C-alpha cells in the first residue's frame, strides 16, 4: 500500500524572521488582494514562491523562473535551509471549529511514492480542472520543488500511528507560531529511525485518500513522468511527492461545506426553479429577517433535513427574508434521471444530487460548463455566502450545503468514483512552505 519515507526538508530559519509572517495558505485559496497583503508582510513570504509575479510585476510565464530565482536566493542567504538529517515532520494545527470550540488536528508530513489512481493505493474523491494543473506543472518544472503538501487521509481507528509521535511531542517544537488566519501551527522533527520504520510499516498496510490537493497530486505525477528518464533508479526522489497524512479518526479532523453561487444564467427564474424541483424534492420554506440568529437557524434546519436525506437550501434574488430547503424525495426513482451517477456511494451525497438534478437536469448546466465555472463559483464561508445574495447584484442564487462526511469521502474513493469539484473543504488548510520538498533526479530516497 502506501510507501512513505523521511526526507531532508527545506525550512525557514531564524534568519528569515517571524514564521507567522512567512507562511502562506495554499495557492488556490488566495485572492489577488490577499496575495498582495501576504507579499507585503515580509520579503520572504511564501506567497512569492507559490504565486509568483514576473520581474515587471506581471503574469507572464517568466513568473515561474522568478520563483526559482527567489528560492535559490533565499537558500543562498540563509533565509531557507535544508535539514541535515532526514525526518518525518509531526504537524499540529489548533483552531476554532464551526461552533467556536478549540480543536487540534494532528498529522505528519512525509514523502510518499507516487502512484496513479488506478493502482488503488492513493485514491481521489473529486474531479479536477485542467487550468490549475497546467499552472502548477509550470511552477514545479521551473523550481523542481513541492512547496505545499497534498492533504491525505488514512484509516487508523486504534490510532497506533499517533503513539509513535508521543515522545517527540514532549520536546519543544521546531516551529510554534500563529499565522494571520488565526491557526496555531506547530511542527516537530521525528528522526528516530526505529519510530520511522514502525510508522512506515503501519502505513504500508493502508490506502491513502486525497482530501485536498488533487490538482497538485496529479501535477506531481506529470512531473515525475517528465523526469523519469533522468532518474537514477526507482528510489529517486522524482518518484516521491510530499504529503500531509491525517488519520481519518483524528478528533480534530473537521470538514466544512462549500456553497454554490449561481450567476449569469440566461432566463433563470427562482420561482420556476422551485416548480421544476417539486417532482424531485420535498420543499420547505424558512422565513428569515437576516439576523444572526436567523442565519444559525437556517443552518440548523438544513442539518436536520440532511440527517434524513440529501438536502440543500436555496436563497435567491427577489426572495427577501426567504430560504427554501430541499430534501430529495425518498421514493424518487433515481434510475430515471440521466445525469444521476449509478454508483450508490454517490447517490446519497448532497452535492451529487444538487449537481445532477438541479444544475444538469433542471437548469441545463452540463458538466463541461460546471468545470469551466461559467455559471457557478464557490464560497466556503456561510455568512459570506449569505452576504453575496444581498450585496452582489450579479448573483442569482446561493445553494447552501451541509458538509460531506469523511466516511462518505472514503466510500466514494473506494468505489473508484469521484464527486463534483469542491465537494469538501477540510479546514484549516496546510501552510505552504512549512516544509519544502526538493526534487532531484539524482537524489536517492533514504532507506527506512
pTM above 0.95? no
| Cα-only R_g, the chain | 23
Q: How are the residues of the chain apportioned to helix, strand and coil, as percentages rounded to the nearest 5?
A: 35, 25, 40
CA proximity to 314, closest of 400, 378, 382: 400
CA 286-274-409 angle, to 5 degrees, is 80
If one counts every other C-beta atom within 10 angstroms of the C-beta of residue 131, the result is 12
Joined grid coordinates for residue 222: 506529470
CA proximity to 154, closest of 249, 33, 55, 38: 249
Give me the sheet containing 281-287, strands edge to edge. Answer: 281-287, 322-328, 311-316, 395-400, 259-263, 376-379
**What's the pLDDT score for residue 291?**
64
**What's the pLDDT score for residue 130?**
64
| Contact call for residues 445 and 236 (beta carbons, < 8 A) | yes
Which parts of the chain register pLDDT below 70? 128-131, 289-293, 447
**What's the pLDDT score for residue 447?**
66
Whole-angstrom distance, CA of residue 129 vs CA of residue 372: 8
* Entry field: residues in the chain: 448
Whole-angstrom distance, CA of residue 190 vs CA of residue 405: 31
| Contact call for residues 125 and 424 (beta carbons, < 8 A) | yes
Whole-angstrom distance, CA of residue 108 vs CA of residue 432: 14
Distances (CA, A) of 55 to 64, 66, 80, 135, 409: 10, 7, 21, 18, 42
**What's the pLDDT score for residue 131?**
66
Q: What are phi and psi of 187, to 5 degrees?
A: -140, 135
Amino acid at each position: 500500500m502506501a510507501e512513505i519515507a523521511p526526507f531532508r526538508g527545506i525550512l525557514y530559519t531564524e534568519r528569515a524572521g517571524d514564521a507567522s509572517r512567512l507562511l502562506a495558505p495554499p495557492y488556490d485559496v488566495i485572492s489577488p488582494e490577499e496575495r498582495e497583503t501576504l507579499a507585503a508582510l515580509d520579503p520572504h513570504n511564501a506567497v512569492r514562491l507559490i504565486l509568483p509575479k514576473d520581474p515587471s510585476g506581471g503574469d507572464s510565464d517568466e513568473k515561474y523562473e522568478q520563483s526559482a530565482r527567489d528560492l535559490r536566493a533565499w537558500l543562498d542567504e540563509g533565509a531557507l535551509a535544508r535539514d541535515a538529517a532526514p525526518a518525518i515532520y509531526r504537524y499540529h494545527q489548533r483552531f476554532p471549529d464551526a461552533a467556536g470550540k478549540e480543536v487540534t488536528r494532528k498529522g505528519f508530513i512525509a514523502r510518499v511514492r507516487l502512484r496513479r489512481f488506478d493502482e488503488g493505493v492513493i485514491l481521489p474523491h473529486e474531479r479536477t480542472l485542467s487550468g490549475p494543473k497546467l499552472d502548477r506543472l509550470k511552477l514545479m518544472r521551473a523550481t523542481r520543488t513541492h512547496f505545499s503538501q497534498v492533504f491525505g487521509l488514512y484509516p487508523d481507528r486504534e490510532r497506533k500511528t499517533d503513539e509513535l509521535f508521543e515522545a517527540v511531542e514532549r520536546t519543544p517544537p521546531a516551529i510554534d507560531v500563529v499565522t494571520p488566519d488565526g491557526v496555531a501551527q506547530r511542527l516537530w522533527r521525528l528522526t528516530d529511525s526505529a519510530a520511522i520504520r514502525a510508522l512506515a510499516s503501519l502505513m504500508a498496510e493502508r490506502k491513502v485518500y486525497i482530501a485536498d490537493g488533487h490538482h497538485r497530486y496529479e501535477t506531481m505525477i506529470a512531473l515525475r513522468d517528465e523526469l523519469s528518464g533522468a532518474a537514477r533508479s526507482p528510489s529517486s526522489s522524482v518518484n516521491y511527492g510530499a504529503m500531509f497524512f491525517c488519520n481519518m479518526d483524528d478528533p480534530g479532523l473537521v470538514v466544512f461545506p462549500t456553497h454554490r453561487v449561481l450567476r449569469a444564467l440566461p432566463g433563470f427564474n427562482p420561482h420556476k426553479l422551485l416548480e421544476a424541483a417539486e417532482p424531485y424534492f420535498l420543499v420547505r420554506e424558512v422565513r428569515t429577517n437576516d439576523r444572526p440568529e436567523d442565519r444559525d437557524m437556517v443552518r440548523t434546519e438544513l442539518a436536520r433535513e440532511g440527517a434524513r436525506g440529501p438536502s440543500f437550501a436555496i436563497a435567491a434574488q427577489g426572495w427577501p427574508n426567504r430560504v427554501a430547503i430541499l430534501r430529495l424525495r425518498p421514493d424518487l426513482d433515481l434510475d430515471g434521471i440521466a445525469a444521476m451517477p449509478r454508483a450508490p456511494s454517490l447517490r446519497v451525497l448532497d452535492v451529487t444530487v444538487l449537481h445532477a438534478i438541479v444544475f444538469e437536469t433542471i437548469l441545463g448546466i452540463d458538466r463541461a460548463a460546471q468545470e469551466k465555472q461559467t455559471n457557478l463559483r464557490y464560497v466556503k464561508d456561510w455568512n459570506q455566502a449569505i452576504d453575496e445574495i444581498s450585496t452582489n447584484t450579479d448573483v442569482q442564487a446561493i445553494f447552501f450545503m451541509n458538509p460531506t462526511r469523511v466516511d462518505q469521502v472514503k466510500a466514494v474513493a473506494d468505489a473508484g468514483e469521484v464527486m463534483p469539484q469542491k465537494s469538501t473543504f477540510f479546514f484549516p488548510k496546510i501552510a505552504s512552505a512549512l516544509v519544502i520538498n526538493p526534487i532531484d533526479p539524482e537524489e536517492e530516497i533514504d532507506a527506512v
